[in-house]
């Protein structure tokens, strides 16, 4: 008997309605004119991001992904860490992203709107430097897009792949835990999967299983912008359902 039902969508996130003080605001996630800084973000982070002493002493390094809102005036608010490596790295990443000067706002129908964005900071335990998509001393990774002219597509059936490879965690099944996990990941220019993280979790066991299977997916057909393969960020919701 199968205990797993997987519902898969290649997700372009629709606008969300959120309460901000006394006002109700529409928050966008994927629009054609996304917000962007009009300054060198790598240089800003490399100048301001500090390696926490506790992380350095513990030899901890890695990536912290921070989500935030870019408002119509370009100001940054509502920061939170989507991934964790511990020892104060998330707090430091949020601190510095919160210091960013205003961005060029995103636009929908040619009007500035509130947009949810995410950027990464890499803490390198060897060099003790960090950057948004750069490990100090290594070649910077190419830009990651959220929406491109030709979106990535799998060259296989995702439903068949997950049905064959994903297992309902025993502990979660015994506890009667079910629901939807959202996994965010990057499809590289060669179609391989990287930078996978849980963007919306419901349970440690279910989160880990969804993340494991997404990380092991075969390569996709990469996305293209202006006819050139580019790195594209995707969010994949996976629903665990007990029968």
DSSP state of 132: S
Domains 31-141 and 153-240 equal at CATH topology level: yes
- Looking at CATH, the fold of the domain delimited by 31-141 is given as TolA/TonB C-terminal domain (3.30.2420)
| Residue 142, pLDDT score | 66
The answer on pLDDT for 1 being more than 70 is no
Taking the CA of residue 80 as centre, how many other CA atoms within 13 Å lie in the half-sphere pointing to its CB? Answer: 6
**Could you tell me if 103 and 37 are in contact, meaning their C-beta atoms sit under 8 angstroms apart?**
yes
Domain ranges (residues) in the chain: 31-141, 153-240
| Residue 141, pLDDT score | 56
Helix and strand numbers (H, E) in the chain are 6, 14
Superfamily of segment(s) 153-240: TonB (3.30.2420.10)
The answer on pLDDT for 33 being more than 70 is yes
**Could you tell me if 123 and 61 are in contact, meaning their C-beta atoms sit under 8 angstroms apart?**
yes
d(CA 140, CA 145): 15
Residue pointed to by tokens 């966008």: 28
Least Cα distance to 199 among 187, 188, 214 occurs for 214
Residue 191 sits at the vertex; the CA angle it makes with 197 and 238, to the nearest 5 degrees, is 40
pTM above 0.75, yes or no: no
d(CA 120, CA 65): 4
């Amino acid at each position: 008997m199968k205990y797993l039902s997987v519902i898969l969508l290649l997700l372009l996130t629709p606008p969300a309605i959120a309460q901000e003080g006394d006002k109700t605001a529409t928050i966008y996630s994927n629009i054609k004119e996304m917000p962007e800084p009009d300054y060198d973000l790598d240089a800003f982070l490399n100048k301001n991001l500090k390696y926490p002493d506790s992380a350095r002493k513990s030899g901890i390094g890695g990536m912290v992904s921070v989500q935030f809102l870019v408002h119509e005036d370009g100001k940054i608010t509502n920061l939170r860490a989507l991934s964790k490596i511990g020892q104060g790295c998330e707090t430091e990443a949020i601190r510095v992203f919160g210091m960013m000067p205003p961005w060029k706002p995103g636009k929908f129908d040619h009007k500035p709107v509130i947009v949810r964005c995410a950027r990464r900071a890499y803490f390198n335990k060897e060099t003790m430097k960090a950057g948004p998509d750069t490990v100090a001393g290594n070649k910077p990774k190419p830009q990651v897009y959220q929406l491109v002219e030709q979106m990535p597509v799998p060259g296989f059936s995702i439903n068949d792949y997950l049905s064959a490879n994903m297992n309902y965690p025993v502990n979660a099944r015994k506890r009667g835990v079910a629901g939807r996990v959202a996994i965010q990941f990057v499809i590289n220019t060669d179609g391989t999967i990287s930078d996978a993280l849980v963007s919306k979790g419901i349970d440690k066991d279910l989160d880990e299983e969804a993340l494991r299977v997404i990380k092991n997916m075969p390569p996709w057909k990469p996305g293209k912008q202006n006819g050139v393969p580019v790195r594209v960020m995707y969010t994949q919701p996976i629903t665990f359902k007990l029968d």
